Structure 1
């Protein structure tokens, strides 16, 4: 891959991973709309690793609490805030891991990678996000997050396995439906992304382990670095904006892009 292609893929992934506009949808569309070759699974893994480190760094305080509580959570003891956070993240991740493994093993995940599917999910779930964001109360904060709400948000997250849905978008939608304030809806969504990205990265890594070579390793490292910095910038910008605006600007983008994609798919 050329350096330009690597940087483009990395920046698309980094910018869209945590915004509610679907990173996987944009990565699938990139070769379709530009004529460039598909970047392949190895680069997909690399850019996800980059975004993983970005979200860990940005939410380092929360991550430290979850890691500190993980041993107690694994023993079934949720008697402090750290253990409750760790257990909630585990519960929120399980539905997606199970559903993702089923889709991967059956090949259904590849079957859904089409412009038409992305167009419909981009449009439809964008409107669902708008409805929830406008109608749901803002009565809960991240401190109220418990196992029940974590499971509900985890079930919402399963829908993100459909390309174009947006993992962050659908989990934010679920959080707003439960009544969480906008900023904490995004915060919980981002924390949920950490074990989810790790799980998907491990799954994808098993597929690319046999094809690794020195040039591919270099390309992957470049992609990971650029996705890290672009993700960190996009994440910081979104969290600051949510202190004063709603999710409407992201919904408008989704609706416009969804309509364009549907026109392309059915023209």
Structure 2
């Protein structure tokens, strides 16, 4: 890849990872629509690491408090809101881990296409709009409970399908279960930490066994840009979500999906 492609793909990853519009879809589309070469496994790991570092640093206080409370809940059997939230985040991670192991190869072989992305972008965009407009929006993330957390976790597993959006489907499920918009977003962002860590470890293992040459300039630049873009995205998204709602992101998804349908029709 040349420098321009590195910058664009890193920005795409950073800006779309935590918005409900699907980062995986946007990373697949340049090769599908522009004929760019596949960015490769090492670059995917790099830009995902940048996004992961952004959410860890942004929520460093919350994550520290949760980790401390979770440890005490095991060692001293002490339970509070932070420890409960930590356990719920862990519980919500399990479905994605389970289905990720089962479906990873199938998804990468058969579902990474513009047709699939067009369908999921529109369908799950409409579901997000419905959830945002009809839900009670009453609960905080500390009131989610283990049942709601597990349901959100099963929703997260659907994000294995390109175009679904991990952030989008988890926020949709959280809204449908009564969480406030900000609470749904925070829960979704916190859920991304164990999932992204696990994915980085698995993909990193594949990378270590791959003969693919490493372009350190592209990797360092991509990681840095993805980190800055993702950090800014998290910060401003949490500030505006209560005022804007999900409608702007739904409109974007519908336009993107419609554009993909037109593109597919013209090239078939």
Indicate whether the TM-score tops 0.5.
yes
Q: The residue matched to 2:37 in structure 1 has which SS?
A: coil
Q: Give runs of aligned pairs for residues 19-98 of structure 1, distance below 5 A.
A: 19-72=19-72, 77=77, 79-98=79-98
Matches of 1:178 and 1:92, distance apart in 2? 14
Matches of 1:77 and 1:161, distance apart in 2? 35
Contact 2:185 2:238 in 1 (8 A): yes
Match of 2:208 in 1: 209
Matches of 1:53 and 1:3, distance apart in 2? 22
Per-residue deviation at 1:232? 1.0
Higher mean displacement: 67-76 or 117-126: 67-76
Match of 2:156 in 1: 157
Higher mean displacement: 16-25 or 62-71: 62-71
Structure 1 unaligned segments of length 5 or more: list them: none
Contact 2:85 2:141 in 1 (8 A): no
Matches of 2:37 and 2:213, distance apart in 1? 20
Matches of 2:137 and 2:32, distance apart in 1? 39
Match of 2:120 in 1: 121
Q: Give runs of aligned pairs for residues 98-109 of structure 1, distance below 5 A.
A: 98-104=98-104, 106-109=105-108
Q: The residue matched to 2:244 in structure 1 has which SS?
A: coil
Per-residue deviation at 1:263? 2.2
User: Is 1:139 the equivalent of 2:164?
Assistant: no
Q: TM-score, normalised by structure 2?
A: 0.93
Q: Deviations over 1:38-74 (max 9, x none)?
A: 1011111111100011111222221112221343456
Structure 2 unaligned segments of length 5 or more: list them: none
Per-residue deviation at 1:107? 3.2
Contact 2:120 2:163 in 1 (8 A): yes
Per-residue deviation at 1:215? 4.2
Q: The residue matched to 1:242 in structure 2 has which SS?
A: helix
Q: TM-score, normalised by structure 1?
A: 0.94
Matches of 1:212 and 1:78, distance apart in 2? 48
Q: Deviations over 1:184-237 (max 9, x none)?
A: 111111111111111111111111113478843342122111100011111112
Match of 2:228 in 1: 229
The verdict on how the C-alpha distance between 1:35 and 1:74 changes in structure 2, with shifts beyond 3 A counting, is: farther
The verdict on how the C-alpha distance between 1:263 and 1:213 changes in structure 2, with shifts beyond 3 A counting, is: closer
Q: Deviations over 1:166-189 (max 9, x none)?
A: 000000000000111111111111
User: Is 1:171 the equivalent of 2:186?
Assistant: no
The verdict on how the C-alpha distance between 1:76 and 1:132 changes in structure 2, with shifts beyond 3 A counting, is: farther
Contact 2:107 2:161 in 1 (8 A): no
Contact 1:54 1:231 in 2 (8 A): yes
Q: The residue matched to 1:243 in structure 2 has which SS?
A: helix
May I ask how many residue pairs the two structures share in their alignment? 266
